[in-house]
Amino acid sequence: MISSLDITLGLAVLAVTGLCLIPRSRLVITMGFLALGIVVTMVWLRLDSLDVALAEAAIGTGLLSALMVWLAVRSPEPPGAGGMQPSPRLPWLRPLIGLACGGTLAVVAAAVWFRVDQQLPAWQAGVEDQMPDTGVEHPITGVLLAFRAYDTLLESAILMLTAAAVLALCRGGGLSDPGTHRLGVHQTSAPMPPVPSALPWAARLLAPALMLLGLWLLFAGSAESGGAFQSGAVLAAAFILLRTSHVSLGAATAHWLRPVLVGGVVVFILAGLAGPVLGLPWLSWQPEWAFAAVLGVEVLLTAGIAAGLYTLFLTLENPEGVR
Amino acid sequence: MIPVWSALAEFSLGAVVLAPLLAAAVSMLVPLPARRVLGAAVGLLVAGLVVPLVVSVSAGEVPELVLGGFEAPVGIHLRADGLGAVFLAVTALVGLVLTGYAAVLPAAEGRCAGPKGWQQGHPGFWPLWLGCWSGLNAVVVSGDLFNLYVGLELVGLTAVALVALGGRGSWEAALRYLFVAVLGSLLFLAGVGLLVSVTGTLDIAQTREALAEVADPEAPLLALVLMTLGLGMKAALLPMHRWLVPAHSSAPSGVSPILSGLVIKAALVVLLRAWLWAVPLSGGAQSHAAVQWLAWLLGALGAAAVLGGSVLALRQTRLKPLVAYSTVAQIGYWFLAFPLLVSAEHDDALAAGAYGAVIALAAGHAIAKAGLFAAAGLLKDRYGTDEIAALRGAGAHHPALILAMGLCAVGLIGLPVSLGFTGKWQLATAAIGAGQWWLIVVLAAGTLLAAGYLLRGIAPLLLQSEDEPAAAKPVSVRERLGESAVMLLGLATIGTGLLGAWLGDLLGVGAWW
């Protein structure tokens, strides 16, 4: 049964999406995007998908918005609008083709979607049967770190390599400073732009609460909603907030960023190697120590995810180090 | 087959993905010379790990790994069938040679902003390339639709970042490539989502079984269209090829061969998995007609790519864009065979012939194009330009390099003995069997045009230059080593041409028919 709340939410999604696409000012677009994240999170909550809602709120809305706000503040106007200008001779042609393609796609997809005989996932029974082998209680954590641990490992590797890519584009290419073990990326010690004095005060107040929230999401994940990705996003947000409000993180970042970044993936693979060493398949954990393995991997993955997301923010400023 | 050997194959199945990934992570912590040593060591290790898999498959087995011991649909299966074994082996061969090439030539890694401005050599190359290799192997051995998506993302993201190592000038091309790669992945994911909603499983073999019982063909068809569109973007099928030329030609010289030789093959492998393994084509008559229509469309686009890409390659004045347009043309051949793969008569021999042709052409292209791009990059780094007119007479200093380029050209044109020739021969045979004479015309025209553009690119290197280029600095030992890497690829182009029959047997293992 479709309630008026559902209809309102659906219309809100459409309206806010328009706000993200139509305005020319990056600041307005960013605000629209923030609002869209909140509305979409509410849609997920309405669908009883607490885990997706948490992930959407933490990563899709929280962190992505931080990157977009930075971009909007630094360069409010899109540079030269690029390929978005109408063609001089037939200005109506591109919008017309776009509308026709979008309309056709929507009609075809909707027609197919309403006709198909949808099946429930075949893995539900299997997940319930095999949960005791995983060492955790929450089915979503079980899927992420036991049944489909391989996907989670590759996804964590993608985030790690994204951070490697942005570090590579910085001055020094992500190497240490000569003769030291400190990351040679100049942004770690670069000053941030001035901010109102209330922000540092608020950030110092908020940071412990965010840390606590992040850790709660991490440890709750084995029994309830939450987990490494959401927790890592909240922790990264705390670091971003501290850096924006001039709390000095430079020395710690230079020492620890790369080891923390790769630690989760390295330990995940080494823990996965325990299977073949004991004559089992890759990524097998015996029920006796499965919980310890899952928890250890999850803690390090969280740290790696937080470090990866923080790296993306850190390296936004002046990547080539040109004065 | 002895049990130890099977156990080794099962171990290798996971290790070919996880060993390079572990090395990618570790390489981020060490200085540049150690990264090069680590890269070369892991390259040798991965090539060694591929051996038991290829031996197992050629003995008629399909090694399978149930990750974590959780059976599908709950868990993920990895499999190495004939298709997987061929691409694992080709990736290992090309990857190992290119690893050596990049380890001896700093310029091949890219250009890095240092304290004294832009300088040659890039530490970021190693984690990204090892991560990319891991992703390529993950795509090839995956038996799960969602895992295929994750593998594609790993390959796409690292490939984009590798392009960006070419310095400021390559960033725009990399950004464009990023948009295309992400859009392509999303379309593929939408197709996967649609398939799951009707089958309830992500495992490829189970998807096939479940789809055989689905009465309504619309959803699988739409899923197939979405996946084909997304993968067509990633494989740069004409008219979705515009991103490829700037990305492949502005990438560093060690990266262009990886992109043209290996990365676009990942999209082809996933496309074949979707068309031939996941979605059964012999469903209802109605669905079959629609699939055939789609296959004909792909065939027509393939023909347009062969002809259009070749003509555009002929018109280039710079070496790397010429080689990149040649890739656009060669991609067309793989799609030319699609109408024969799903012919109305359900002729298995015909389909097997066309399938063998696609794989032979793609494998041959991987080796030959990697060699040609590595050679073009070496010349560009040495002389500071890849204008063909400016490189006139450069061959006098690099006789071995020119010979290697000639060997690679043999494979790309499709002359005997090479996999390019085997593939074209099989495709022509299948076309005659199906009575599709137009295919022969496209093949012949493509071959002539390929000979034309490769001659245009290579011949000026051999001519006597008007102004004596003897003033050029002597060729260093490192450059000689880089040339020998190209020579290895050139020799492999010819050597693999002798393996055509073995390749056919290998592809029969675990095939969809």
d(CA B149, CA B184): 10
B144 pairs with which residues across the strands? B203
Task: Supply B166's token pair.
Answer: 């070419």
B3-35 pLDDT, tens digit each: 778 889 999 999 999 999 999 999 999 989 999
| Residues 6 or more apart in contact with residue A91 via CB below 8 angstroms | none
The residues in A 162-181 lying below 8 A from B, measured between CB atoms, are 162, 164-165, 167-176
B142-175 pLDDT, tens digit each: 999 999 999 999 999 999 999 999 888 899 999 9
Residue A116: its chain B contacts at CB < 8 A? 194, 197-198, 216, 218-219
B28: helix, strand or coil: coil
CB contact under 8 A, B21 and A173: no
Residue of B nearest to A171 (CA): B113
For tokens 């885990």, name the residue.
Answer: A51
- ipTM of the complex in this document: 0.93
A196: helix, strand or coil: coil
**Mutant choice from A123, A153, A161 vs B, greatest count of B C-beta within 10 A:** A161
CB contact under 8 A, B123 and A174: yes
For tokens 């823990």, name the residue.
Answer: A271
Q: How far does chain B reach from its first CA to its final CA, in angstroms?
A: 24
Q: Residue A78's pLDDT is what?
A: 65
| Residues 6 or more apart in contact with residue A173 via CB below 8 angstroms | A167, B112, B113, B114, B122, B123, B124
Q: Residue A323's pLDDT is what?
A: 44
Among A63-67, B220-224, B382-386, where is mean pLDDT lowest? A63-67
Q: Tell me whether residue A75 is exposed, middle or buried, using C-beta atoms within 10 angstroms of its C-beta: 0 to 12, 13 to 18, 19 or more.
A: exposed
d(CA A168, CA B162): 9
CB contact under 8 A, B165 and A168: yes
Q: Which residue has the higher pLDDT, B133 or A120?
A: B133
Q: Residue B287's pLDDT is what?
A: 59
Residue A282: its chain B contacts at CB < 8 A? 11, 13-15, 18, 65, 67-68
Most confident of A149-163, A275-289, B200-214, B465-479: A149-163
Above pLDDT 90, what percent of chain B? 66
CB of B198 closer than 8 Å to CB of A117: yes
A to B CB pairs, distance under 8 Å: 202
CB contact under 8 A, B154 and A126: no
A233-288 pLDDT, tens digit each: 889 988 888 888 888 888 888 889 999 999 999 999 999 998 888 888 898 888 78
Distance between B505 CA and the closest CA of chain A, angstroms:
29
Q: Residue B271's pLDDT is what?
A: 95
CB contact under 8 A, A176 and B31: yes
Side chain identity, residue A104: T
d(CA B262, CA B132): 10
Q: Where does the pLDDT of residue B227 fall: very low under 50, low under 70, confident under 90, or very high at 90 and above?
A: very high
Above pLDDT 90, what percent of chain A? 22
Nearest Cα to Cα of residue B120 among B476, B508, B506, B487: B476
**Average pLDDT estimate for B139-144:** 94
Nearest Cα to Cα of residue B161 among B134, B126, B114: B126
Residue B168: its chain A contacts at CB < 8 A? 320
CB of B366 closer than 8 Å to CB of B420: no
| Residues 6 or more apart in contact with residue B173 via CB below 8 angstroms | B163, B243, B246, B247, B250, B251
**Average pLDDT estimate for B314-340:** 94
